[in-house]
């Protein structure tokens, strides 16, 4: 069903299941890009690591192509879209790893026009509720050191930094400062 969340007095964020045939064009047209003048730098020491906020000069621009991922997204265990002001505002997809009862938020994208108004929060809240309904013990997500906004967002949603992978991204596709960061939020 459709879940409606009030926003201000006149606008509503509606979160509903993906309707692949109806939503495909909007999903492919989704602006996934961001620009940031702040990043997180992973600093390794002999006995640990730190995640430090630093300036990005010049600012970093990044865009993620969904062209190859749309069919995969449609096959995930849980896929919802957000509508705002009667338009497509974002998408989230999640898989459930039954062996360890972990829900993996595979994709979360919000259109540029709908950012910072609660669309991402509505999608992640719906994902956490769906994960609980599926007996997941936590929700896990991957983002990047250069995606400053995503790191701040997940932390604001109660996710805690739980790991990193310096070898996950192909150096031909990723920048020198781009390292995979993993965050988790317990549901129990």
What tens digit of pLDDT does each residue of 156-186 get? 999 999 999 999 998 888 777 799 999 999 9
- Assess whether pLDDT exceeds 90 at residue 10: no
Check: CB of residue 145 under 8 Å from CB of residue 178.
yes
pLDDT at 108: 97
In the chain, where the domains are located: 3-186
- Assess whether pLDDT exceeds 80 at residue 64: yes
Q: What is the pTM of this model?
A: 0.90
Query: What share of the chain in percent tops pLDDT 70?
Result: 94
What is the mean pLDDT of the segment spanning 17-45?
Answer: 93
What is the mean pLDDT of the segment spanning 141-165?
Answer: 97
Check: CB of residue 30 under 8 Å from CB of residue 111.
yes
- Assess whether pLDDT exceeds 70 at residue 1: no
Level-2 CATH architecture, domain 3-186: 3-Layer(aba) Sandwich (3.40)
CA distance 140 to 125: 13
pLDDT at 3: 59
Element (H, E) at 151: helix 148-156
- Assess whether pLDDT exceeds 70 at residue 39: yes
- Assess whether pLDDT exceeds 50 at residue 9: no
Q: Which of 78, 72, 67 is nearest to 32 (CA)?
A: 67
Helix, strand, or coil (residue 65): coil
List helix spans (H) across 79-139: 119-133
- Assess whether pLDDT exceeds 70 at residue 21: yes
Check: CB of residue 23 under 8 Å from CB of residue 130.
no
Rounded to 5 degrees, φ, ψ at 126 are -65, -40
pLDDT at 120: 97
Q: Which of 93, 71, 73 is nearest to 82 (CA)?
A: 93
- Lowest average pLDDT, out of 60-69, 82-91, 144-153, goes to 60-69
What is the mean pLDDT of the segment spanning 3-20?
Answer: 74
- Assess whether pLDDT exceeds 60 at residue 139: yes
Q: What is the DSSP string of 49-87?
A: EEEEEEEEEEEEEE----TTTHHHHHTSSEEEEEEETTE
Q: Which of 130, 178, 124 is nearest to 156 (CA)?
A: 124
């Amino acid at each position: 069903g459709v879940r409606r969340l009030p926003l201000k007095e006149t606008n509503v964020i509606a979160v509903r299941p993906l309707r692949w045939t109806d939503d495909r064009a909007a999903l492919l047209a989704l602006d996934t890009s961001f620009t940031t003048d702040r990043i997180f730098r992973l600093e390794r020491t002999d006995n640990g690591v730190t995640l430090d906020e630093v300036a990005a000069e010049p600012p970093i621009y990044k865009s993620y192509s969904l062209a190859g991922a749309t069919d995969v997204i449609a096959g995930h265990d849980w896929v919802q879209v957000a509508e705002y002001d009667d338009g497509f505002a974002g998408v989230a997809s999640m898989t459930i790893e039954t062996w360890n009862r972990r829900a993996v938020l595979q994709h979360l994208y919000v259109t540029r026009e709908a950012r910072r108004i609660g669309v991402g929060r509505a999608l992640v809240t719906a994902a956490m509720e769906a994960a609980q309904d599926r007996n997941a013990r936590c929700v896990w997500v991957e983002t990047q050191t250069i995606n400053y906004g995503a790191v701040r967002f997940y932390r604001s949603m109660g996710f805690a930094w739980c790991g990193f992978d310096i070898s996950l991204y192909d150096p031909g596709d990723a920048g020198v400062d781009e390292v995979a960061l993993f965050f988790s939020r317990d549901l129990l």
